Amino acid sequence: MTKDNLKYSAYIQILEEELVPAMGCTEPIALAYCAAKAREVLGAMPEKVVIGASGSIIKNVKSVIVPNTDHMKGIPAAAVAGIVGGDASKELEVIAQVSPEKIVAMRNFLETTPITVEHVDNGLTFEIVVTLYKGEDYAKVRIVNYHTNIVLIEKNGEKLFEVVVDGEGESGLTDRSILNIAEIYDFAESVDVEDVKTILARQIQYNTAIAQEGLRGNYGSNIGSILLETYGDESVMIRAKAMAAAGSDARMNGCEMPVIINSGSGNQGMTTSLPVIEYAKELKVSEEKRQKQARQRNRKDL
């Protein structure tokens, strides 16, 4: 695939859209982002919080540790992290930098502020609605279909921003229907590495770091460490499995390190990258070849 092919730039854009950093499990972070944006729009600390969430969001958030909260769990904790300590401009890194004082404030807020969680069913798998109240003022933010896709910003009855939601599409993103296996392979083999080097280098750096932390620390079921202790580290197949498992255990159990996601999922992001990285090390391939392998795996996952 040559650079003058219209799909060439589209494929790079898709990689840029997909391979983004996120702190912790992406659903709680999306909830924190939505709440942080609502807090920004309200312009004050709220006196009451109402959270609407689709069934899949409730399932994926209710028992997950929220990063940078001193191991708080669940939907209210995720929203409060965004309200008290979040920076909406950081999107999926919304709570990447939270001071100890903010964590204390989060706990106080949870103890003193009415927070309601409601199930919403508008036929969408992914939906979050956060409404914050302060006196007679309110602010509402709605996210649907993917983690940063704000489709409604409303304050005191005025719609400041609205996008019509037509089912479970991906409006605002590069058209994924252009992807096919033959051209993905062609792109991966022919792309100028400099055009994707920054994207993929960050993926290698972030995902390797959190996997190594997962092996060092005590996170979740410690599957990565158990694999290495049981089978040893001589087999690249075992190391590949261990790295992916360790990264997932770490991020799902409160590790405060970012991961590069794939298709909206941190676990998929690590599964599509860490085994490739381990095999590349084993085979002593060049950096260019390693990045080509990563591109193929990332695109095939979509």
Residue 28 to residue 64: CA distance in whole angstroms: 8
Higher per-residue confidence, 293 vs 223: 223
Q: Are strands 21-23 and 258-260 parallel, antiparallel or unpaired?
A: antiparallel
> What pLDDT does residue 65 have?
86
Give the residue from 141, 143, 140 showing the smallest Cα distance to 122.
143
Read off the pLDDT of residues 183-232 as tens digits, 9 standing for 90 and up: 999 999 999 999 999 999 999 999 999 999 999 999 989 999 999 999 99
Alpha helices by DSSP H, listed for the chain, are: 6-18, 26-42, 55-61, 75-85, 100-112, 181-190, 197-216, 223-231, 236-252, 266-271, 274-283, 287-300
> What pLDDT does residue 32 have?
96
Tokens of residue 33, six digits: 């982002």
> What pLDDT does residue 294 have?
62
> What pLDDT does residue 300 have?
58
3-class SS at 262?
Answer: strand
Kindly tell me if the per-residue pLDDT of 112 is higher than 70. yes
Residue 104 to residue 253: CA distance in whole angstroms: 20
Segment 9-28 shows an average pLDDT of 90
> What pLDDT does residue 286 have?
76
> What pLDDT does residue 293 have?
61
Amino acid at 226: I
Burial of 139 (0-12, 13-18, 19+ CB in 10 A): buried
- Name the phi and psi angles at 154, rounded to 5: -135, 140
> What pLDDT does residue 62 have?
86
Read off the pLDDT of residues 149-178 as tens digits, 9 standing for 90 and up: 999 999 999 999 999 888 776 667 888 889
| pLDDT band with cut points at 50, 70 and 90 for residue 39 | very high
Segment 93-120 shows an average pLDDT of 96
Domain 25-162: which topology? 60s Ribosomal Protein L30; Chain: A; (3.30.1330)
Would you kindly state where each structural domain of the chain is located, as residue ranges?
A: 25-162, 179-300
Which residues are paired to 262 by β-bridges?
Answer: 265
| pLDDT band with cut points at 50, 70 and 90 for residue 301 | low
Which residues are paired to 48 by β-bridges?
Answer: 133
Q: Tell me how many degrees the CA angle 141-24-66 measures, rounded to the nearest 5.
A: 70
End-to-end CA distance of the chain: give it in Å, rounded: 19
